[in-house]
Amino acid sequence: MSSVPLHPAVVHFPIVFAYLLPLLALAALWQIRRSGNARAAWIPVAVLMVFTLAAGIVAVRSGGATEDPVEEVVAKRLIHEHEERAETFMFIAWGALVLLVAGFLRGRLGVVGRGLFILAALLLAIQVTLTGKLGGELVYEHGAASAYARPGAPQPAELEEDSGR
């Protein structure tokens, strides 16, 4: 069994989904203007929102599972800041879900719900960018991955020297 944690493998899903969400919502608005069928056009947005939320939950939980070993090599305040950003992402995602549901309503409430959802989806994309940036810094600048490196495993500099021969 691999000692590589699940977190690095799953964090990319909420990132991609959060970037696609505002684009799909805008496409749905365009489709609503063309067809007038808001519910049918809004269903794919709802599916992607559910995937985004589920992926966020898995990413946050898997990140929590990696926290103790990473705290051995990275300052707790940096990990906490990344965790706080992820929690903010989830807070925005739950709020966006409420707005998404409002987008299924008829009339003015549905129009307002869809418009506010697009704003929330844009906020979600911004927040996932900030969260991912901090996560990348933890790994690439602060050495978080070294918490899971095997003792004696070749380090990147050693691999470069071997390939240059």
The one-digit pLDDT tens for each residue of the chain (165 residues) are: 457 788 988 999 999 999 999 999 999 999 999 998 999 999 999 999 999 999 999 999 999 888 888 888 888 999 999 999 999 999 999 999 999 999 999 999 999 999 999 999 999 999 999 999 999 999 998 888 888 877 765 655 554 555 555
Number of domains in the chain: 1
Residue 90, both tokens? 């989830």
Rounded to an integer, what distance in angstroms lies between the CA atom of residue 116 and that of residue 136?
Answer: 30
Q: What is the pTM of this model?
A: 0.85
Could you tell me the residue range of the domain that residue 90 belongs to?
49-163
- 12 found inside a domain: no
- 6 found inside a domain: no
- 56 found inside a domain: yes
Taking each helix axis as running N to C, give the angle between helix 76-102 and helix 107-140, from 0 to 180 degrees, rounded to the nearest 10.
160
- 39 found inside a domain: no
- On whether the CB atoms of residues 26 and 118 are closer than 8 A, the answer is yes
